[in-house]
């Protein structure tokens, strides 16, 4: 009888350990999903690295460089300033504490006459930058949703 009692207690203890372990794993998984996109991307330095790479790609993109309005805007806005503002904007949009203080997307792109083809060229370069930095697919999906939300303010719709 006493042996059965000890075995029963051991089985209950083992079951309790399994349940506790499963609960801990569930809590860890839940914590991971509760992190902001900003945290999952690695914060401002990681985001700044991707932005830096993206801007360098955009500045040599032949499709974008064929648009004289984009060229004129690039001549007016220093590249480091653009990188600074875009980094702040992405950090803020991803849930970070940084605050973007520049013009709205609509304001800053209104005279650039950006076409669908130019938009796709930018998106392609963005994809290349994200891939270069090995940004996971789930985070890429969230980032592209953020970028897509700005399209109506940036791309000139065909008349």
Rounded to an integer, what distance in angstroms lies between the CA atom of residue 12 and that of residue 6?
A: 10
Query: Residue 159's pLDDT band (boundaries 50, 70, 90)?
Result: very low
11, pLDDT greater than 60: no
> In 40-134, which ranges are E strands?
none
Structure confidence by residue, pLDDT tens digits, 115-147 = 999 999 999 999 999 999 999 999 999 999 999
In a shared domain, residues 96 and 144: yes
In a shared domain, residues 130 and 75: yes
Which residues neighbour 48 within 8 Å (Cβ) at sequence distance 6 or greater?
Answer: 83, 87
The share of the chain scoring above pLDDT 90, in percent, equals 74
Structure confidence by residue, pLDDT tens digits, 52-72 = 999 999 999 999 999 999 999
Rounded to an integer, what distance in angstroms lies between the CA atom of residue 69 and that of residue 111?
A: 7
What pTM value is reported for the model?
A: 0.77
Nearest of 135, 120, 105, 131 to residue 58 by alpha carbon = 120
Number of domains, the chain? 2
73 within 8 A of 118, measured Cβ to Cβ: no
Rounded to an integer, what distance in angstroms lies between the CA atom of residue 44 and that of residue 88?
A: 8
Pick the range with the lowest mean pLDDT from 7-16, 46-55, 87-96, 101-110: 7-16
Write out the residue range of the structural domain in which residue 11 sits: 1-34
128 within 8 A of 57, measured Cβ to Cβ: yes
In a shared domain, residues 7 and 21: yes
Give the residue carrying structure tokens 């875009």. 86
In a shared domain, residues 28 and 53: no
| pLDDT of 124 | 98
Rounded to an integer, what distance in angstroms lies between the CA atom of residue 28 and that of residue 34?
A: 10
Query: Residue 157's pLDDT band (boundaries 50, 70, 90)?
Result: confident
């Amino acid at each position: 009888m006493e042996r059965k009692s000890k075995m029963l207690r051991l089985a209950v203890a083992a079951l309790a350990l399994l349940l506790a372990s499963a609960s801990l794993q569930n809590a860890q998984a839940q914590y991971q999903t509760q992190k902001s996109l900003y945290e999952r991307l690695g914060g401002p330095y990681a985001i700044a690295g991707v932005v830096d790479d993206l801007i360098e790609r955009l500045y040599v993109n032949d499709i974008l460089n064929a648009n004289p309005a984009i060229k004129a805007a690039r001549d007016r806005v220093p590249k480091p300033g653009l990188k600074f503002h875009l980094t702040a904007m992405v950090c803020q949009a991803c849930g970070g504490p940084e605050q973007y203080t520049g013009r709205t997307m609509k304001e800053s792109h209104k005279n650039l006459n950006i076409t669908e083809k130019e938009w796709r060229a930018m998106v392609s370069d963005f994809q290349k930058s994200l891939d270069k930095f090995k940004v996971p697919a789930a985070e890429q999906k969230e980032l592209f949703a953020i970028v897509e939300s700005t399209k109506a303010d940036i791309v000139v719709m065909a008349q």
